[in-house]
Structure 1
Amino acid sequence: MKEFQTIYEGGEAEIVEKKSRFIAHTYHVTTEEEVQEVLEKVRKEYWDARHNCWAYVLGKDQVSARCSDDGEPSQTAGKPMLDVIMGQDLHDTLVIVTRYFGGTLLGTGGLVRAYSKAAQEGLTHSKIITRIYGFKLNIKTDYTGLGKIQYLLGKRGLQILDTVYSDAVELTVLVSESEENVLIAEITEGTNGQAVLEKGEDCWFAVVDKEIVIFAEGE
């Protein structure tokens, strides 16, 4: 898995169905322990609610997926919420929907629709990003080759992290693993082999509000 979608900032949304309130919260989580901590926090905050149903998917390969109806009829809450998460191909994502009963039974179909809609609204109000696996590429060039390199980087939408000017120019760029071979070949050809390329540390990164964010291990 070289890139995946996940939540950067969690969201909150509420829908009302036949006077029952469904309050959705979404979270970025990476471990079972984080999931349990968030669940405990939400249960304390909404201690007087009839149900706190949840669903989550963990891992870059979605290796762990679980859900709970929390007292609702089987398969009417947690599973529909999990289907929403999986349907949007999200990873490391937790959705909790709190229900305050409004006095009118919704039936199994009504519950499925309500929990699905609440989960979708919660995700709509979240900031979702694509995390990309790549590395820092250090490029050393003379001033003659700088323009060509800047053009090649711009053509691919790659942002320069750092530039150092001296007798030569040194650039640090974030490159996705999938672009590595083509980009290096283009720079080598474009500068007639004069640019010195050095592969730096691997990392996960994303573009958030047009800015590059680099994630530490486990984030």
Structure 2
Amino acid sequence: MTHFLTPSLPVDGEILVQRSRFLSRLVSVESETEARASIAQARSAHPQARHHCSAFIVGERADILRTNDDGEPSGTAGRPILDALQSAGLGHVVCVVTRYFGGILLGTGGLARAYREAATAAIDRASLREVRECAVIEVAATHHDAAIVQRAARQRGWAQIGAVWEASVTLRLGVPVAETDAALAHLVQVTAGRVRGVVTDRRLM
């Protein structure tokens, strides 16, 4: 994916199904290591719970998908959680659903519905931000032109991801890939041809 949503802050949800409590936690992460750390934190926070099932989506293009049923019947927990994340258009995210068993067996269909609903309960409460694949444009300019470039970046909603102010100025801007050519042309226009940006990288931001 080159365009997705991710939680601005960690968020929790909870549902009760046939006396079983399902506690969900949704966290924005950028790596498999961060995702697994969040899963471990949920396990530590609820040591008496029977299951800590999870799913996460990470990777440079949000293309690494992992699920864990943590002792529930295969396919009844991690996959439904992942389905909820994908249906919401999420990426760079982990969702852990902790289950306190209530003594009543739910069956495979009931479990799958419960885990998906628990994940959705957290998603519905989340404040989400947009993540897009952006071109990193580097600009070398005088102090005067750097101020013009920064103003243009603010007006266009481009990310300002770095600046080195010395005798001359080096700025690094994050511009949605689809806007790259227009952005380069705009920088030339607003500085009367004195500044020409160079694309040095692509990244999600």
Structure 2 stretches of 5 or more lacking a match?
A: none
Deviation at 1:55, TM superposition (A): 1.2
Report Cα offsets for 1:154-211 as digits up to 9, x if no partner. 663346787x9xxxxx795734152221122234345543x323448657575xxxxx
How much identity, in percent, do the aligned residues show?
31
Counterpart Cα distance in 1 of 2:73 and 2:87: 22
Q: Does the 8 Å contact 1:25/1:122 carry over to 2?
A: yes
Deviation at 1:23, TM superposition (A): 0.2
Q: Which has the larger radius of gyration?
A: 1
Q: Does the 8 Å contact 2:184/2:197 carry over to 1?
A: no
Farther-moved stretch of structure 1 (123-132 vs 90-99): 123-132
Instruction: Tell me the residue number matched to 2:195.
Output: 196
Report Cα offsets for 1:62-89 as digits up to 9, x if no partner. 4322212222233221111011122223
Q: Secondary structure at the match of 2:181?
A: helix
Counterpart Cα distance in 1 of 2:85 and 2:108: 20
- With over 3 angstroms needed to count, the CA separation of the structure-2 counterparts of 1:204 and 1:131, relative to structure 1, is farther
Structure 1 stretches of 5 or more lacking a match?
A: 165-169, 207-219
Instruction: Tell me the residue number matched to 2:135.
Output: 134
Instruction: Tell me the residue number matched to 2:84.
Output: 84
Q: How many residues align?
A: 202
Instruction: Tell me the residue number matched to 2:48.
Output: 48
Q: Does the 8 Å contact 1:52/1:99 carry over to 2?
A: yes
- Root-mean-square deviation (CA), in Å? 3.6
Counterpart Cα distance in 2 of 1:199 and 1:173: 10
TM-score (norm 2): 0.74
- With over 3 angstroms needed to count, the CA separation of the structure-2 counterparts of 1:154 and 1:80, relative to structure 1, is same
2:135 partner letter: G
Counterpart Cα distance in 2 of 1:192 and 1:152: 13
Q: Does the 8 Å contact 1:23/1:99 carry over to 2?
A: yes
